[in-house]
Amino acid sequence: MIAIKKFIILFTLLLVSACGYHLRGGIDLPDDLKNIYIQGASSQLTESLKKTLRSSDGGLVETPEEAGLVIQVIKEDMRRRVLSLSSTGRANEYELNYLLDFNLIDAEGNQLSEKQIIELSRDYFNDQEDVLGKDNEEQLIRKEMYRKAVKSMITRSRIALEKGNQ
């Protein structure tokens, strides 16, 4: 019986690895994107970028000279807006808006593209009875928005580097 369980586990692992499964957040990075220096970003964006790079065999470096790519954040703004009110005047729905403007600079200090703009928006229902749960939900939504922005930054960086190398 134990041998059958071991066989099933081993077989499942082989199937999962053969189908191209990879951990969430992992991205195949070219060499120029393995070492990134980010300038002017919030701690949340920096931490999200660090986690994504770590899961992709890359990392953030301490100085621009060590980096294959420099991301220069011009503007970063996370805002929350009330979408609807209840009959008692409390917020029923909120909308989170995230704006990120940044430049991409290569290792030699050349700007790789025009200023990049990422805008993300997400709304959620605010249950008046579960205040703590909704606060946690908002934090999770914010983290997910930062993850999406990081993936978009990396994708745009990859495209800009490919255009620069042609």
Q: From CA 157, how far away is CA 20, in angstroms rounded?
A: 24
**Spatial strand order in the sheet of 116-125:** 59-60, 35-39, 69-85, 91-106, 116-125
Q: Where are the domains of the chain?
A: 25-165
Phi, psi at 112, each rounded to 5°: -85, -25
Q: What is the pTM of this model?
A: 0.77
Rounded to a whole number, what is the distance in angstroms from the first to the last CA of the chain?
Answer: 58
Q: Which CATH number fits domain 25-165: 3.30.360.10, 3.30.160.150, 3.40.50.1980, 3.40.190.10?
A: 3.30.160.150
Question: Going residue by residue through the chain (166 aa), what tens digit of pLDDT does each one get?
Answer: 778 888 888 778 777 665 555 555 456 677 778 889 999 999 999 999 999 998 888 889 999 888 889 999 999 999 999 888 888 878 888 899 999 999 999 878 889 888 999 999 999 887 767 666 667 888 999 999 999 999 999 999 988 888 766 5
